[in-house]
Amino acid sequence: MMPNKLRKSADISITATLNLGIISGCSQEEPTSEKIQTITTKDLESKLKDDSWVIVDTRINDAYNGWKLEGVERGGHIEGATDFSANWLEVNIKDKEKTLEQALKTKGIDKDKNIVLYDANGEDAEAVAYYLKDQGYENLYTYDVKEWSKDEKLPMEQYENYKMIVPAVVVQDILDGKKPETFENAKNIKVVEASWGEEKEAYAKGHVPTTVHINTETIEPPPTWVLASDEELTKFTKDYGFTKDDTIIVTGPNTMASYRIAVVLRYMGVNDVRVLNGGNDAWVRAGYELEKTSNPKQSGSDFGAPIPANQALIDTIPELKEMLKDPNFTLVDNRSWNEYIGKDSGYSYYNKKGRIPGAVYGYAGTSSVTLEDYRNIDNTMRNSDEILALWKSSDINTDNHLAFMCGSGWRAAEVLTYANVMGFDNTSLYSDGWMGWSNYSSNPIETGEIK
């Protein structure tokens, strides 16, 4: 059950290179084997509850989540639609075809079904349609979702807190001096880049224009890599001139680092913190360039509130021990399966293995630096139905308070944010993770599979 997590909405493109025509609605054009049929709004509405039909959103992930992009009047996706973004066809990764094939299977986009592919630019759906035709799919239709979004009686869904993760085009609008939707009340918008190490490590190789670099070691100093003290975090805000009333967008080459910094900023008390969905790769895919200019930080004197102002967002070890006694609490372990069962530590520089007793396997990826269970192929947020299916398979009760953990807070910070985007607010981060817990010999550990 997911009450109040998806709400009804009342409120770049990839060009197909084939020179092919499109049949419109009830068009009587001469059909060819290369043309893709379209479907009318009335016919599409009649298929919403028909299990032999699959409705697929082929736009960028942000549009599916809730952002009003490319001229749609209501943000979000058609009720019940799954997603398969045309963007994914352009991603260059190892085993790409196998990954896309698995995505089609997971989403129920089967060859024996009728498949409606919709977009808002007349290009994305067509690109996916021709990809599917090459895979042997036949019953394909395209549709312009702008027509659907005009009629408020037709059901659309958006994530309750979709604004927490931001599309590249919106960041560009802000850099151009505009105030896009959901930013109207923002007093002072700052865009920062988060990555490990000094500027020369990643920032100097290319970053979103105007961004100021934040070294993740600032908020989790070595050698323990656990969350910095309140005094250190207070100095951090002064060094960067952050205040509680800022709106801060975090970008970076590694989205985990962005989410880690974003959650800590929220914990300190910044009222409005967001992340570029998909990181710097999303920026480049949207057609924008990275810069290599070093942008200096601007110091300040007053954060405007005691730090941390949002203390409940991050749990300490003593707090976690008490929470684990509560049947209405679940500690979600977002590490790889081998880390969870104690087969390996997950880190070359850390050798302690195992898990916290009572922690529930919450999925992550195949290693400590991947999070493919929660991401699409382009490193954007996976859709909520698929995330909830993971949790259901581990008997994670979403009515409980959910605290997310991993090795040291990076993976779990991203998962926590996705949970918040979906509308789960009774949540927190056990920031110090397995490393913080296992550093104390008095803390119990478990290994092996739970019987």
- Point out the residues that are catalytic: 406
Tell me the two tokens of residue 402: 């959910």
Spatial separation of the C-alpha atoms in residues 26 and 29, rounded to whole Å: 9
DSSP helix/strand/coil, 275: strand
Residue 359 DSSP symbol:
P
Q: HEC states along 183-216?
A: CCCCCCEEEEEEECCCCCCCHHHCECCCCEEEEH
Residue 268 has a CB neighbour count (10 Å cut-off) of 26
Spatial separation of the C-alpha atoms in residues 398 and 427, rounded to whole Å: 10
Percentages of the chain per state (helix, strand, coil), in multiples of 5 = 30, 20, 50
Please tell me the total number of residues recorded for the chain in this structure. Answer: 451
State residue 115 phi and psi, 5-degree precision.
-120, 120
Residue 18 DSSP symbol:
S
Q: Which whole-number Å values give the CA distances from 399 to 101, 202, 322, 363, in the listed order?
A: 33, 40, 19, 19
